[in-house]
Structure 1
Amino acid sequence: MLHVFACSGRFPSWEALQAYLSPAYTEDGDAVPSPFFLETGLTHYEPACIESALLASPAPLAELLDGMSYADSWLAQACADADAQGLLADTAVCVFAPNRLAHPQRSSLHYVGSYAYDGG
């Protein structure tokens, strides 16, 4: 299962987006959950299975998500949902398995939806 999130105007830079998504680490090497982890209840963290995009200005989801993994199997449905919601965004986050989200709708980002995908 894939979860798609989007927003506009929230992150001034790539670094700010990554600070929201990625855990921090203490001097002892212990992970400190990121805001995104806490909001969504993310478990089974695999950083290579979270993809994000940041554009200079809001655009349709199809443009923002161009080039995301396995897009052939899920992008059309996500874009249809986003278009129905009137969504334009400059930031998108895609969370693929094995990452698990206990409550994606609690994210402070707009939750577009969850989609099955063909991971090859």
Structure 2
Amino acid sequence: MKALHFTGPGHPLAAGNVPVGTLGPSDVRIRVRAAGICRSDLHYRSGFPEVDPGRVLGHEVAGDVVDVGIGCVTRAVGDRVVIHYTVGCGTCRYCVSGQERFCATGEMVGKDRDGG
């Protein structure tokens, strides 16, 4: 899959490929149709907060579902979706109440894990 990789503060992004991983039971795979650049991406490019080189930046993504995990019951192939910028643990009180952004072990898409 094609992506732009962060190469370090102040450096240009580098075009490359990202391996397509195996879907987990509740995961979906999205064909990105639109992606935005926001202030967070500009902060990461400037070096604060720190982001690992090689990361695919971006958390403003919209696209079409092209594959679903075996246990996914909320989405289907062909659905048009946007991504949420945080990924929580799924089990803490915040995650189970739909407030993943407060999860103590949550990760931010495009910073802690690859975005799009």
More helix by share: 1
**Structure with higher strand content:** 1
TM-score, with length taken from structure 1: 0.25
Select the structure of larger CA radius of gyration: 2
User: Which gives a bigger RCO, structure 1 or 2 (Cα 8 Å, sep 6+)?
Assistant: 1
